[in-house]
């Protein structure tokens, strides 16, 4: 490839890239047409044919060329007739690409731009799964979340449908992977049917419907472990202090704990009254680090708080034990050099 030809290709690539970044390749003024079969958005992995048809004035092109993302293509190009050519891709797997084609006109120093297209490949959406709706105390919102499934690689919208079971009124909310709905907009009813609809250019799927009673999905205000201490008793115990700002009267809580060197959690359960700070007692190994977390739910309901932030506490060293040496024999008898008993050499030794 000559130096001038290389410069030409660079100029065309930069021009197309600039136009694509500022409004899309489709903003090019075409001197012909470009179309895609099966379409400009298609399922990833499909075989794709892209056609270019020139309508240039005063040009009977010697050749028609295809470019993908600014780079000239060399293979699987078929000249159909004087004005039209096709490029074929087997199992196209790029999520996005911008295509354009050019003509080589006799007497023209550079190739002439014909037209361009943005193309996309992806998948139809999966049915949204694991739909959950909760109201975090004091938030003023019903928050709904779901699993979107595998990536689609193309623009996919999610519509949350909320239908009153008492008035039959239905509301719809556009979302991505979650939605927050003001509880002020849900004043007309306490019972609702909620489902999510996923839509893109390749398909549409609905989640399973979720029955919601607003009084049953409230999660108490977050619980916090504020401090811990280990007493200096004969049998030391660790006291963990924790609290919440919840106004819910009947609350059921779990506290889990483990040594930082362990993988296994132990769990204690509590019926809590948060009109005062809660205290939990543990008998733990001395001189060890432990991590504690707590979570709560309204008694009899199914939705839990997230586990609180980990709280790490170091138990104190074991105290109260003294190592005693045994008493020696009260009298130690020594003998004289002659081997007889010498009362003057009798001594008393005490060991502490």
Which among 134, 131, 193 has a CA at the least distance from the CA of 165?
193
DSSP for 265-276?
Answer: -EEEEEEE-TTS
Tens of pLDDT along 67-113? 999 999 999 999 999 999 999 999 999 999 999 999 999 988 899 99
Pairing of strands 218-219, 141-147: unpaired
Q: What is the average pLDDT across 315-329?
A: 58
DSSP for 224-256?
Answer: EEEEEEE--SSS--EEEEEEE----SSEEEEEE
Confidence of residue 319 (pLDDT cuts 50, 70, 90): low
What was the pLDDT predicted at 22? 43
What was the pLDDT predicted at 62? 93
Tens of pLDDT along 145-193? 999 999 999 999 999 999 999 999 999 999 988 999 999 999 778 999 9
Displacement of CA 267 from its chain's centroid (Å): 27
In the predicted model, is pLDDT for residue 263 greater than 80? yes
What was the pLDDT predicted at 27? 56
In the predicted model, is pLDDT for residue 351 greater than 50? no
Residue 253, judged by CB atoms within 10 A of its CB (0-12, 13-18, 19+), counts as buried
In the predicted model, is pLDDT for residue 269 greater than 60? yes
In the predicted model, is pLDDT for residue 236 greater than 50? yes
In the predicted model, is pLDDT for residue 14 greater than 80? no
CA atoms within 13 A on the CB side of 63: 9
What was the pLDDT predicted at 253? 96
Tens of pLDDT along 190-228? 999 999 999 999 999 999 999 999 999 999 999 999 999
In the predicted model, is pLDDT for residue 347 greater than 60? no
Contact partners, residue 327, CB within 8 Å, separation at least 6: 350, 351
- Residue 151 CA to residue 176 CA, distance in Å, equals 12
Per the CB < 8 A criterion, the answer to whether 96 and 118 are in contact is yes
Q: What is the average pLDDT across 23-41?
A: 81
Q: Mean pLDDT for the chain?
A: 86
Confidence of residue 29 (pLDDT cuts 50, 70, 90): confident
Q: What is the average pLDDT across 1-18?
A: 46
What was the pLDDT predicted at 176? 86
| Least confidently predicted of 31-35, 132-136, 196-200, 347-351 | 347-351
What was the pLDDT predicted at 317? 80
Helices (H) and strands (E) in the chain, counts: 1, 27
What was the pLDDT predicted at 160? 97
- CATH numbers and ranges of domains, the chain: 3-122 (2.60.40.10), 129-218 (2.60.40.10), 220-314 (2.60.40.10)
């Amino acid at each position: 490839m000559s130096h001038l030809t290389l410069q030409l290709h660079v100029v065309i690539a930069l021009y197309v890239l600039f136009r694509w970044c500022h409004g899309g390749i489709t903003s090019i003024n075409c001197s012909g047409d470009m179309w895609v079969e099966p379409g400009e958005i298609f399922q990833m992995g499909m075989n794709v044919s892209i056609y270019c048809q020139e309508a240039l004035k005063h040009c009977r092109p010697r050749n028609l060329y295809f470019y993908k993302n600014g780079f000239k293509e060399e293979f699987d190009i078929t000249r159909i007739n004087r004005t039209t050519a096709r490029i074929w891709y087997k199992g196209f797997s790029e999520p996005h690409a911008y295509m354009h084609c050019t003509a080589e006109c006799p007497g023209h120093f550079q190739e002439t731009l014909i037209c361009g297209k943005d193309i996309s490949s992806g998948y139809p959406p999966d049915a949204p799964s694991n739909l959950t709706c909760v109201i975090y105390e004091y938030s003023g919102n019903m928050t709904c979340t779901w699993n979107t499934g595998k990536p689609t690689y193309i623009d996919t919208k999610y519509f949350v449908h909320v239908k009153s079971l008492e008035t039959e009124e239905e509301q719809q909310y556009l979302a991505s992977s979650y939605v927050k709905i003001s509880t002020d907009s849900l004043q007309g009813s306490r019972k609702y049917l909620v489902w999510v609809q996923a839509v893109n250019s390749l398909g549409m799927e609905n989640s399973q419907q979720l029955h919601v009673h607003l009084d049953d999905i409230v999660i108490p205000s977050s619980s916090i472990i504020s401090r811990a201490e280990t007493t200096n008793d004969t049998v030391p115990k660790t006291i963990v202090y924790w609290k919440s700002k919840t106004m819910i009267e009947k609350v059921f809580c779990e506290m889990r704990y483990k040594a930082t060197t362990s993988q296994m959690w132990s769990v204690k359960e509590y019926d809590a009254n948060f009109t005062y700070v809660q205290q939990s007692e543990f008998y733990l190994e001395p001189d060890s680090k432990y991590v504690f977390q707590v979570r709560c739910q309204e008694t009899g309901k199914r939705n839990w708080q997230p586990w609180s932030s980990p709280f790490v506490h170091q138990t104190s060293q074991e105290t109260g034990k003294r190592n005693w040496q045994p008493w020696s024999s009260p009298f130690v008898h020594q003998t004289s050099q002659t081997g007889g008993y010498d009362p003057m050499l009798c001594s008393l030794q005490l060991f502490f």
